[in-house]
Amino acid sequence: MSSLYPMLKHLHMTLALISILGFMLRAFWSLQGSDMLQKRWVKISPHIVDTFLLLSAIGLTIVLQLSPHSQPWLLSKVFMLFLYIGFGVVALKAHFPFALRAFAAVCAVLMFGLIASTAFSKLSPLQAMGLF
């Protein structure tokens, strides 16, 4: 294991926390109809954080020599990431009805929790429930 691992792991976990807290704040503003969502830094910073989050994830897979094809828990994280992004898009787009955006925001946060749980346990949700 590379000496980069501890730094990449902590960077990844910190960026994940910043990312979900930022999402929750933007979802709150979206549901409130706040003008804060129009601020330049609010539009740009999530992309910067999420880019570095993705780069740290790629770095971890390289350092640990992991592949989603050989690690079911990692493949689950990738799949859940796409679901998280989809829920997040619905939650933040004003043209969707309020109830749908609120539901999507809750689903996105729950999906993030599943992603984090999977990362810590190294078990896919199906494995954790004893179904796989």
From first to last of its 132 residues, the chain has per-residue pLDDT tens of: 678 999 999 999 999 999 999 999 999 999 999 999 999 999 999 999 999 999 999 999 999 999 888 899 999 999 999 999 999 999 999 999 999 999 999 999 999 999 999 999 988 787 778 776
**Residue 3 CA: distances (Å) to CA of 8, 52, 53, 57, 64:** 9, 19, 19, 16, 11
- Do 53 and 105 contact (CB within 8 A), yes or no? no
- Whether this model's pTM surpasses 0.85: yes
In the block, residue with structure tokens 């043209």: 95
Q: Which helix (H) or strand (E) holds 101?
A: helix 98-121
